């Protein structure tokens, strides 16, 4: 019976492919960047306009709709206590320079790709999933569960939309967010920001005295630019100048202003979940200061280098597990202000680890250092993890294999999706090789891939309806 359901829904979908593309182009043309809040539009007028239009499409399809104060909203069909939830987001990141096509023009080029901000992340997959839901709705009038399509407006900069949703709604029976890799991500690492500080005299009672330090804007981005100023004592000046002549890092520039040495470093930005893919400018300065300082001053900078280790070694929290691999730690923000040196480290920890345990380990490790460091705060977003044998995981894998002929093992990741914020949900795949990367210039989605995603999503929904019904 389920195969007949899939065939009927996919046949409806095939007849609607041209409408799917046109509707996606319309949605993309809303420049739904976060902007100044307004009444009923907490993330700006364009996000609210995109949400209103999307809910209007739900109403045209005969779905029941709810607008959740402009944070997000949903359309729903079916009945019963069991629910299959899909979650997509309508907000996008800024565009930046260098685009070949208008980033909100929704241009379909001669190469068969749709170019636009949001094509891949996440308007394309969101619209493909919406049409998959419509296909099920059109061909399965007595569907035994509720199928709900949620649209959020703040995924890129805080998840306030989905947190608002969870305050108002019960968890679904099962749910998916089309915003990851194929066939699905069955584990998302825990995400924690460790803020550590010191007021130690090591900062002020040395021959190379720290006066200022700044680097980074967000914890989840590798620092690509950092600056520092140190005051060098007269006794240490000759030693420091001699070491400067031998300093090896050509990505650091420095200049004397009286007895002060101004330092600037350039690194390479990367996502906080993959700090080893970037080069941390703050760590460059730590190493540089260690290299040029007299021996008694080197201990403090040794400890800074340890604390910035991308594996969490200096924080005492390094480790790994079999499902999701090693812990990563990104030093994302540094500052020295009013006598306090502060480091904010964005940690992505394995799915079988526990935040409170990591906190205790970090406090113990800091207690062994000589720099007077302490953990002053720790945020903690718990991991998402479903074993491979979970019925929801199996249903999605089966759908992907049936549509593609490819047997692929679910993955894990250090990034976070809506799925981690809503119980009983996982993130599923979007796009294929050739489609542009999310957040990049000339983001693009092959039109045929849009249609292919929708076909797979139809089978995913049918399979998940079966899982929900049996739950």
- Catalytic pick among 121, 155, 179, 224: 155
Instruction: Indicate if 155 belongs to the active site.
Output: yes
Report whether pLDDT(1) > 80: no
Quote the pLDDT of residue 55.
Answer: 98
Look up the pTM and report it. 0.86
pLDDT tens-digit readout, 264-307: 999 999 889 999 999 999 999 999 999 999 888 898 899 999 99
The domains located in the chain, with CATH, are 2-188+384-470 (3.40.630.10), 190-378 (3.30.70.360)
Quote the pLDDT of residue 205.
Answer: 72
Instruction: Indicate if 59 belongs to the active site.
Output: no
Run of H or E including 48: helix 45-60
Report whether pLDDT(335) > 80: yes
CA 29 to chain centre: 23
pLDDT tens-digit readout, 359-390: 999 999 999 999 899 999 999 999 999 999 99
Please work out, in degrees rounded to the nearest 5, the angle formed at the alpha carbon of residue 390 by the alpha carbons of 388 and 392.
Answer: 110
Helix pair angle (298-307, 281-292), 10° resolution: 160
Distance, in Å, from the CA atom of 464 to the CA atom of 391, rounded to the nearest integer, reads: 9
Higher pLDDT, 339 or 124: 124
- Catalytic pick among 91, 122, 303, 403: 91
Sheet of strand 113-115, all strands in order from the earlier edge strand to the far edge: 107-108, 113-115, 444-446
Q: How much is the mean pLDDT over the chain?
A: 95
pLDDT tens-digit readout, 188-220: 999 999 999 998 766 777 898 889 999 998 898
| Average of per-residue pLDDT across 77-106 | 95
């Amino acid at each position: 019976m389920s195969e007949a359901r899939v065939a009927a829904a996919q046949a409806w979908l095939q007849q609607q492919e041209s409408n799917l593309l046109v509707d996606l182009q319309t949605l993309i043309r809303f420049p739904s960047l976060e902007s100044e809040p307004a009444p009923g539009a907490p993330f700006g007028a364009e996000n609210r306009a995109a949400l209103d239009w999307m809910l209007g499409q739900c109403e045209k399809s005969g779905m029941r709709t709810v607008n959740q104060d402009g944070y997000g909203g949903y359309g729903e069909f079916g009945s019963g206590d069991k629910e299959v939830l899909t979650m997509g987001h309508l907000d996008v990141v800024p565009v930046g320079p260098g685009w070949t096509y208008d980033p909100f023009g929704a241009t379909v080029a001669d190469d068969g790709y749709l170019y636009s901000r949001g094509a891949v992340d996440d308007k394309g997959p969101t619209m493909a999933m919406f049409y998959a839901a419509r296909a099920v709705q059109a061909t399965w009038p007595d569907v035994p569960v509720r199928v709900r399509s949620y649209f959020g407006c703040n995924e890129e900069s805080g998840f306030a939309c989905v947190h608002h949703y969870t305050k108002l709604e019960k968890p679904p029976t099962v749910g998916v967010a089309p915003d990851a890799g194929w066939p699905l991500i069955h584990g998302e690492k825990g995400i924690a920001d460790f803020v550590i500080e010191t007021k130690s005299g090591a900062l002020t009672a040395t021959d190379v005295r720290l006066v200022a330090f700044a680097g980074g804007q967000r914890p989840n981005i590798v620092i690509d630019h950092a600056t520092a100023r140190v005051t060098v004592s007269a006794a240490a000046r000759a030693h420091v100048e001699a070491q400067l002549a031998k300093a090896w890092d050509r990505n650091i520039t420095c200049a004397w202003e009286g007895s002060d040495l101004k330092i600037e470093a350039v690194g390479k930005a990367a996502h906080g979940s993959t700090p080893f893919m970037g080069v941390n400018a703050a760590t460059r300065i730590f190493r540089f200061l260690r290299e040029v300082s007299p021996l008694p001053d080197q201990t403090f900078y040794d400890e800074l280098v340890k604390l910035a280790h991308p594996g969490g070694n200096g924080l005492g929290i390094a480790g790994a597990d079999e499902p999701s691999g090693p812990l990563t730690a990104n030093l994302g923000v540094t500052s020295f202000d009013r006598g306090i040196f502060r480091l904010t480290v964005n940690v992505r920890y394995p799915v079988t680890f526990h935040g409170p345990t990591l906190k205790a380990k970090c406090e113990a490790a800091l207690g062994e250092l000589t720099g007077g460091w302490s953990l002053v705060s720790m945020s903690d977003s718990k991991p998402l993890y479903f074993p491979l044998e979970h019925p929801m995981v199996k249903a999605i894998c089966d759908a992907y294999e049936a549509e593609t002929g490819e047997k692929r093992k679910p993955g894990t990741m250090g990034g976070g999706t809506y799925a981690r914020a809503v119980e009983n949900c996982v993130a599923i795949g979007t796009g294929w090789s050739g489609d542009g990367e999310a957040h990049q210039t000339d983001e693009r989605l092959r039109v045929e891939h849009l249609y292919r995603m929708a076909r797979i999503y139809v089978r995913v929904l049918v399979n998940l309806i079966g899982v929900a019904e049996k739950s």
